[in-house]
Amino acid sequence: MNKFKLFIENFLVYGLGGIISKLIPLIMVPIVTRLMPNTEYYGISDLSNTVVQFGSAIAVIGMYDAMYRMFFEKEDEEYKKNICSTALLFTMITSLIVFAIMLIARNFIAQYFFGNSKYAYVVYLSAMAVLVSATNSIISAPTRMQNKRKIFLVTNTVSPLLSYSISIPMLLAGHYVIALPLAAVVSGVTMEITFGILNHGWFNFRRFDKKLLRQLLIIAIPLFPNFLIYWLFNSCDKVMITNILGIGAAGIYSVGSKLGHCSQLIYTAFAGGWQYFAFSTMKDDNQVKSNSMIFEYLGVISFVATAFICAWSYLIFNILFTDKYLTGYVVAPYLFLAPLLQMLFQVACNQFLVIKKTWPNMLILSSGVVINIVINYFLIPVLGIEGAAIATLLGYVVSDVICVVVLCKMKLMVINFKFVLATIIMMIYIIAWRLMFSNKILIGTISAIIVSIIMIFLYREDLKRLLAMIKKKK
């Protein structure tokens, strides 16, 4: 019962904290886009965030996860402080190196990411954000590792609110290019100072330990390719759109992806409690069966949610955004389902971690990235931003299919035929939606209801067992 309680608490608090940090920017998208005179400005702001994510991943090099892992290696507090101090000093050095490289290569970065070297001054802000973001991830870590849930919840609420309290007045004043990037830097610095005050006792550069650094790097470096792969999945489409179609098209796509990424709220809440559950039950006799059923249930829920997003995407865009962003409605359903497929991939590939083999994750995910980039290359010139959304979705589909097939061959996963049938039905629905009723709300809603009824029928026995279990507990 104590394990279950801890799981629920972590799921609710860390999941809720992550949701809030993403929900506030999501709510602000319609307001921000209405304050900008054209789609290019939003494209620049979103691509600046893309640059920051890339630079931060390189600067951290997996050190946060390595630090998190080694923090719990011993109960000795002095040892834990040595770990934190060593990780921070190393990350500060790598962050400064990345910061310097970005400044030197500012014209190239501006040309490649923003489509024009005249935006080199935006790279200055992005470089500052990388420096702050990378080091802040380490400085704030002791709060999470000590399970100080209230602080985590408050800071995840205050940070985006602070950012928009700075950016909105700047947008009203006409500073469209730098408003969001500069606000992100100021908010990041404020949060870093806050966590620095709260966690200063955990860091002392005199505690730097070369031997501990070596152990940290042994864990951290193999994780880095995974961060890079996820960045390519989530960001290469925007960069390719910018270079093929222009920064304005990237702005429309970014808005579509923000609405589509509502599903990341589901993913974030799931991730908040999944890791604890997965490893605490990995030695159970029915672990393979239970993990497989979780995969299927989450998949069916994802399909039903996506069906309704397909049906209502046009209506949502028509209400929330001006006409210049309306074409973005077509990419939202693809980009809504994509993070959910990423969630399914993590559920499945957890089986590799159970048997202490992590390299298959990277190879399988890499195959999906390659598919994504290749399809982007061919479909963006033909279908525009929709081609990029399709490429992202198919990349995750390929990764999921390969992962499931390999695990089934290894007898680490069991997939029922009814889930295969549910997947085929979902594919037919998406194709029918796009070709016949993408902007017809009533027909789309009725079709989504039919899909939901079919899914319920397929899993009726599972629902009966769940309801019986709930009734018994009551």
pLDDT in tens, 65-89: 788 778 777 778 888 899 999 999 9
Q: Which residues contact 270 (CB under 8 A, 6 or more apart)?
A: 15, 298, 343
Question: Would you say residue 281 has pLDDT above 80?
Answer: no
Specify the DSSP class assigned to residue 218: H
Round the CA-based radius of gyration of the chain to a whole number and report it.
23
pLDDT in tens, 370-418: 999 999 999 999 999 999 999 999 999 999 999 999 999 988 888 999 9
Strands (E), 88-147: none
- Of residues 96 and 280, more confidently modeled: 96
Phi, psi of 65 (to 5 degrees): -65, -40
pTM: 0.82
Question: Would you say residue 3 has pLDDT above 50?
Answer: no
Closest CA to 430 of 447, 413, 446: 447
Taking a C-beta distance cutoff of 8 angstroms, is the pair 113, 100 a contact?
no
Task: Provide the pLDDT for residue 21.
Answer: 62
Question: Would you say residue 62 has pLDDT above 90?
Answer: no
Q: d(Cα 256, Cα 30) in Å, to the nearest integer? A: 11
- Of residues 3 and 307, more confidently modeled: 307
| Alpha-carbon 43 to chain mean position | 19
Task: Provide the pLDDT for residue 70.
Answer: 80
Tokens of 49: 């965030």
Question: Would you say residue 169 has pLDDT above 80?
Answer: yes
- Of residues 263 and 314, more confidently modeled: 314
